[in-house]
A and B are shown apart, each in its own frame.
Chain A
Amino acid sequence: MRIKKNIAVSDTGFLFNPSTGDSYSVNPIGMDIVQLMKLNKENDEIKKAIMNDYFCDDATFEKDFYDFTMVLRNYKLLDDE
């Protein structure tokens, strides 16, 4: 799962899609996930990094990560569509 290359991500969690003009805000965890995706990390690596930084159990991560990627997909921010 990859974030589209042209999506700009700022340090404050502001995402900008230059081909549609749409912009979004993500919270700090969302920003960490997006940054990891930009680095082409695999899902397992993202999971490991997030669980290392935040207090969270496996099942909660899986569910929330799935929801988050669904949102990214709906907004056409992922490369795999």
Chain B
Amino acid sequence: MSKPKYTIAVTGLNAIDSPGPGLAIIRGLRDAKSFDVRIIGLSYEALEPGIYLHEYVDKTYQIPFPTAGQEVLFERLTYINEQENIDFLYPNFDAELYNFIKLQKQLENVLNIKMVLPTLDQFEERHKINLYEYGLKHGIDVPKAQPVYNTFEIPAIANQYGYPVVVKGKFYDAKVAYNMEQASQHFNKISAQWGLPILIQAFVRGSEVNVCGIGDGNGNLLGAVPMRKLYITDKGKAWAGITLDNEKLLEITKNMVESTKWKGPFEMEFVKTVEEDYYLLEINPRFPAWCYLTVGAGQNQMEVLVNLAMGKKVKPFTEYKIGTMFIRYSNDLIVDINEFEKISTVGEL
């Protein structure tokens, strides 16, 4: 029986020290057994490496930054769709997700581009600022945290939690502060980059474990792979990791998906204490950059998500290979300046 061929657009083509998930997703899609793909890259900047990796990306189009708004994005996607006839789209950045969630119906009804995304409520509810309440609501342990708008507010909270505390940006970045002076420095640095409020969170000592999974929107967990970071960069990114045999973590994940009726991919980030308690630090409403490990472990979650959108029967994964590792590496691509010129001026390559 012949396989269908889908045209799939993917963002997040940056593969720097804080990499986007785009290339990992593309590798998963190219490994798919149930369909063939033509990959359309959607880039924001001309130096995103994925643009030039032609063995992965068939054609790339620049798209407007999220701040340009939904109307401009829709116009650009309309043009790209006229050229490529896109079947499915994978948005991969937190910052762009709001626009894509708002445009989801329009993209499907007008351009026939499908996506599997969390609802706006699901997306908003799990924001770092709301995470403690989110944990209370869904029965997940989350370290206590409070938003602050001024450094004067920090001492009272830090005294309550005890040092060290974690100073977190509302979207990105987190630093541990062992005294008030450090907390103020982190507050000023992070707020200058990511705005206010800043979150002051109780510090939980332990090792970082994450889960990459997908929910079908009806409370069913279609796949989940727990991973422990073996090597962490100074930006807190996993540079190596290993899949774990961890029933408790899978149970917490299953309960979250059941309770929230989560739709689409997600990454849950936890700290595991020596007492084997798990504290949720974050839920990312998209695949993480390490998601190709799920393919290596026997769960091609990227393939399943596309099949779910295409109305195919999807069977939840029940197992994965424990002890599968990933080790990330960086590489220098040699690029002809003509290619750089083309993407910079025409916005297509």
Q: Are A18 and B228 in contact (CB under 8 A)?
A: no
Q: Are B207 and A18 in contact (CB under 8 A)?
A: no
Chain A residues, Cβ within 8 Å of B122: none
Is B344 an interface residue when CB atoms closer than 8 A count as contact?
Answer: no
Q: Are A20 and B323 in contact (CB under 8 A)?
A: no
Is A65 an interface residue when CB atoms closer than 8 A count as contact?
Answer: no
Chain A residues, Cβ within 8 Å of B24: none
Interface residues in A42-70 (C-beta closer than 8 Å to B): none
Chain B residues, Cβ within 8 Å of A8: 323
* A20–B229 alpha-carbon span in the complex (Å): 10
Type the 1/0 row for A1-26, where 1 means its CB is closer than 8 Å to any CB of B: 00000101000000010111100000
Instruction: Return the chain A residue nearest B246 by Cβ.
Output: A19
* A6–B207 alpha-carbon span in the complex (Å): 20
Chain A residues, Cβ within 8 Å of B242: 21
Q: Are B323 and A16 in contact (CB under 8 A)?
A: yes
Instruction: Return the chain B residue nearest A22 by Cβ.
Output: B228
Q: Are B323 and A19 in contact (CB under 8 A)?
A: no
Is B73 an interface residue when CB atoms closer than 8 A count as contact?
Answer: no
Type the 1/0 row for B208-238, where 1 means its CB is closer than 8 Å to any CB of A: 0000000000000000000110100000000
* A18–B228 alpha-carbon span in the complex (Å): 10
* A63–B185 alpha-carbon span in the complex (Å): 51
In the assembled complex, the CB of B317 is this many whole angstroms from the nearest CB of chain A, namely 18
Chain A residues, Cβ within 8 Å of B246: 19
Describe A's contact surface by its main secondary structure. loop
Is B244 an interface residue when CB atoms closer than 8 A count as contact?
Answer: yes
Describe B's contact surface by its main secondary structure. strand
Is B94 an interface residue when CB atoms closer than 8 A count as contact?
Answer: no
Q: Are B245 and A6 in contact (CB under 8 A)?
A: yes
Is B196 an interface residue when CB atoms closer than 8 A count as contact?
Answer: no
* A6–B247 alpha-carbon span in the complex (Å): 13
Instruction: Return the chain A residue nearest B244 by Cβ.
Output: A21
* A19–B241 alpha-carbon span in the complex (Å): 13
Chain A residues, Cβ within 8 Å of B230: 21
* A52–B323 alpha-carbon span in the complex (Å): 35
Is B281 an interface residue when CB atoms closer than 8 A count as contact?
Answer: no
Chain B residues, Cβ within 8 Å of A21: 227-228, 230, 241-244
Q: Are A20 and B207 in contact (CB under 8 A)?
A: yes
Chain A residues, Cβ within 8 Å of B207: 20
Is B322 an interface residue when CB atoms closer than 8 A count as contact?
Answer: yes
* A20–B228 alpha-carbon span in the complex (Å): 7
Instruction: Return the chain A residue nearest B272 by Cβ.
Output: A20
* A8–B228 alpha-carbon span in the complex (Å): 17
Instruction: Return the chain B residue nearest A18 by Cβ.
Output: B245
Chain A residues, Cβ within 8 Å of B244: 18-21
* A16–B322 alpha-carbon span in the complex (Å): 10
* A19–B246 alpha-carbon span in the complex (Å): 5
In the assembled complex, the CB of B294 is this many whole angstroms from the nearest CB of chain A, namely 15
* A16–B325 alpha-carbon span in the complex (Å): 12
Chain A residues, Cβ within 8 Å of B322: 18
In the assembled complex, the CB of B200 is this many whole angstroms from the nearest CB of chain A, namely 30
Instruction: Return the chain B residue nearest A6 by Cβ.
Output: B245
* A80–B243 alpha-carbon span in the complex (Å): 25
* A18–B320 alpha-carbon span in the complex (Å): 12
In the assembled complex, the CB of B117 is this many whole angstroms from the nearest CB of chain A, namely 30
Chain B residues, Cβ within 8 Å of A18: 244-245, 322-323
Q: With A21-B242, A21-B243 given, can you name 7 additional A-B contacts, CB distance below 8 Å?
A: A6-B245, A18-B322, A19-B244, A19-B246, A20-B207, A20-B244, A21-B241
Interface residues in chain B, defined as those with a beta carbon under 8 Å from any beta carbon in chain A: 207, 227-228, 230, 241-246, 322-323
List, sorted by A's number, 10 A–B pairs whose CB atoms are closer than 8 Å: A18-B244, A18-B322, A18-B323, A19-B245, A19-B246, A20-B228, A21-B228, A21-B241, A21-B242, A21-B243
What are the nearest 4 A-B pairs in CB distance?
A21-B228, A18-B245, A21-B242, A18-B322
